[in-house]
Structure 1
Amino acid sequence: MRRTSKGLIGGALFTAVSGLALSLYSSRIARQAEELVPADGRFLDVAGARLHYIDVGSGPTIVMVHGLGGQLRNFSYALVDLLKDDYRVIVVDRPGSGYSTATGAMPGIVGQGAIIADFIQKLGLDRPLLVGHSLGGAIGLAVGLDHPHLIRALALIAPLTRPQESVPESFRGLARVPARARLGFAQVLGTPLSRLTSAKTLEGIFAPEAVPEDFAVRGGGALSQRPIAIAAAAADLGGVNDDLTPMAERYGEIGVPTRILFGRQDAILDPAYHGHRTAAAIPGAKIDTIEGGHMIPITAPEACARFVRAAFAAG
């Protein structure tokens, strides 16, 4: 009995020490990521969140919303520079991503749509073009459904638009994060596991194109390995179908001009399902496809810039 007790105590002590070591490791990775990718812009408090954003250029306004596990440098990597001479371009970190934080429970797609709507109102923007990439496209659609008076048009790049029966392989690790302890899990195991699998994950997200060597810094990729970002991305992924299922049934109500752009080789979201089917459901919507994968704002910025300009003109 004594040996058994000592074994149990020793095992518990080992587990506690290991957990502490992994937690400290995760904190160190988070600090390093923030040193590599510091906050680029300013902050604004809105209902439900404190948002970090950049605001560059002048002219008619464009607001950009990034996707799952991303942050605003996904757009400022190249696309913003191609637009800022003719437009005022505002790119925002979603709650839990980059340097934005939720002030309560992590909001779902509809909740984040309301946050973006309040962001537009708090900045006093006059019906900007709303650009959304991937999960940001779903948030754009939520704004188009519930707050259409605030925007002139939607430009959706490789958007998530419909409920998913299965999780893309690159994001299956996030799907395994327990819902009741997301931040704790991310602090102890999420960041170390993310470090081990990041190369393969990014290869899947960018496929068939290569991951840019400078993506970690210039594209903000390093920030996605912080515990807070992993927990937020897991929450986003865990709740998408709850909002997308009823949203998809309402796409016929969307009255703002809507354009969709997909890479034909997108390995994350099916262009036929999320693109062509959704374009057919939205009155007057148009869809274009180009050569490329899911991360075309980074890998094909010139084509994306032409798409955004055309969407603005159509609005």
Structure 2
Amino acid sequence: MPFVSTDTGQVHYEIDGDGPGLVLVHGVGGDAQKVFGNVVDQFSGEHTVVRPNLSGSGRTTDDGAELSLPALVGQVEAATRAAVTGPVDLFGFSLGAAVAAATAATHPGLVRRLILLGGVADMTGPRAGLGFGLWRDLAATDFELFKRFAALQGFSPAVLDGFGHDGLAWSLKTDTWPPGTRRQIDLAARIDIRELLPAIQVPTLVIGLGADQIAPIEQSHLLHSAIPGSRLAEIDGAGHLDWLTDPTPVVKLVQDFLTTDPA
């Protein structure tokens, strides 16, 4: 399993396939396999797919300090440069979208195209503060209760009902969250990348999820309006985590975008 060193520790990443680089960045409570394991095969036939584990996830280790956006950007940069050469396509989900956007803004020569799914640009408002504050309190006092609440927020009603009673109970029982989830929640509650967004000068696809309660669609609108020349696609009725159960619409949007002329 490949690792690369940064100023704060050792970054573990997964690598699959062969071709131009495609880097996939997970969000809060995820890791390289949990978030992207079901879509790697959709891309690895044409790309070298790199999936770094951010601090708190997978086998990545760090100094245990409070997480910062620059530190996570440094992890993505380090894993990318260690795994592939040349500009890469960069795909971030949720908090990972903020990390990916910040990477594109601060390391422009590293990124060829940018995809932001269910992304966040500014989590400093009252509603976001209330939500992440509740996440922190639940995670600190009763993690099983936190998992139930996260599922209720993360999936749309149609997807949750589609699990059925037994399926939902099994999903909650078997679902695992990385040990650094609380640190990732703390960082997510402080995200504000609005000043970085105008510096992004690469072709960008913003994918908003219409029924997203964690990263409301307005966050995707904010990303789109602030990133010069970006495209916006919306998946109506989709919750934040719905695409993990059926990635087909997201995969098609991403594949179509990756095969267009980046000029």
Query: Would you call these one fold, judging by a TM-score over 0.5?
Result: yes
For 1:69, what is the secondary structure of its paired residue? coil
Q: Choose from 147, 153, 156 the match for 1:204.
A: 153
Structure 2 residue 132 is the aligned partner of structure 1 residue 195 = no
Kept in 1: contact 2:86–2:110 (CA 8 A): yes
Question: 1:157 is matched by which residue type in structure 2?
Answer: L
Could you tell me the TM-score, scaled by structure 1's length? 0.71
Match in the other structure for 1:311: 257
Greater Rg by CA? 1
How far the C-alpha of 1:234 sits from its partner, in A, is 3.5
Matched, 1:167 2:123: no
Q: Percent sequence identity over matched residues?
A: 23
CA distance in 2, matches of 1:295, 1:196: 18
Report deviation, 1:168: 7.1
- Paired residues, what number? 252
Q: If the length of structure 2 is used for normalisation, what is the TM-score? A: 0.84
Match of residue 288 from structure 1? 233
Superposed displacement of residue 223, structure 1: 2.9
Does 1:43 find its partner at 2:43? Answer: no
Alignment-derived partner of residue 123 in structure 1: 83
In 2, Cα distance between the equivalents of 1:123 and 1:217? 35
Relative distance call for 1:64 and 1:217 in structure 2 (3 A) is: farther
Take 1:44 and 1:297, find their aligned partners in 2: how far apart are those partners? 30
Offset, 1:147: 0.5
Distance 1:217 1:153 in 2: 38
Going from structure 1 to structure 2, the CA distance change for 1:260 and 1:238 (only over 3 Å counts) comes to: closer
Per-residue Cα deviation, 1:189-212 (whole angstroms, up to 9, x for no partner): x3x601234223212112232286
Q: Is the 8 A contact 1:174 1:230 kept in 2?
A: no
CA distance in 2, matches of 1:217, 1:255: 43
**Pair 1:280–1:195, CA change in 2 (3 A):** same
Q: Render the CA deviation track for 1:223-256: whole Å, top value 9, x for unaligned.
A: 33xxx3233224323432xxx1xx3023222101
Query: Are 1:222 and 2:176 counterparts?
Result: yes
Q: AA paired with 1:281?
A: A
Q: Structure 2 vs 1, CA of residues 235 and 125 (structure 1 numbering), >3 Å: closer, same or farther?
A: farther
Aligned to 1:110: 70
Q: 2:198 aligns with which of 206, 230, 252?
A: 252
Cα RMSD, aligned residues only: 2.6
- The equivalent residue for 2:101 is 141
SS of 1:249 mapped into structure 2: coil
Are residues 1:279 and 2:224 paired?
A: yes
Q: What do the CA deviations read for 1:239-296 (whole angstroms, capped 9, x no partner)?
A: 32xxx1xx3023222101111112211121221x211232122111001011311114
Asked whether the equivalents of residues 50 and 101 of structure 1 are also in contact (C-alpha less than 8 Å), the reply is yes
Pairwise CA distance, 1:143? 0.5
**Separation in 1 of the partners of 2:4 and 2:52?**
10
Q: 2:59 aligns with which of 90, 99, 110?
A: 99
1:307 to partner: Cα distance: 1.9
- Which of 302, 305, 313 pairs up with 2:248? 302
Q: Secondary structure at the match of 1:222?
A: coil
Structure 2 residues without counterparts, runs of 5 or longer: none
Alpha-carbon distance in 2 for matches of 1:268, 1:288: 18
- Distance between the aligned counterparts of 1:250 and 1:201, measured in 2? 29
Q: 2:31 aligns with which of 68, 71, 76?
A: 71
**Residue of structure 1 in register with 2:45 after alignment:** 85
Question: Are the equivalent residues in 2 in contact too, given 1:46–1:122 (CA < 8 A)?
Answer: no
Secondary structure of the corresponding residue to residue 259 of structure 2: helix
Deviation of 1:49 (Å): 3.0
Query: CA deviation digits over 1:41-81, x for unaligned, max 9?
Result: 44332332322221112222211011112111233342112
Amino acid at match of 2:228: P
**Residue type of the alignment partner of 1:160:** V
Give the Cα–Cα distance (whole angstroms) in 2 for the partners of residues 263 and 231 of structure 1.
24
In 2, are the aligned partners of 1:47 and 1:118 still within 8 Å (CA)? no
Aligned equivalents of 1:76, 1:252: Cα separation in 2: 28
**Residue in 1 aligned with 2:114?**
154
- In structure 1, the gaps of 5 or more residues are 1-40, 178-185
Letter paired with 1:97 = S
Counterpart CA distance in 2 for 1:297 and 1:126 is 29
Secondary structure of 1:309 counterpart: helix
Higher helix share: 1
Distance in 2 of aligned mates of 1:119 and 1:217: 32
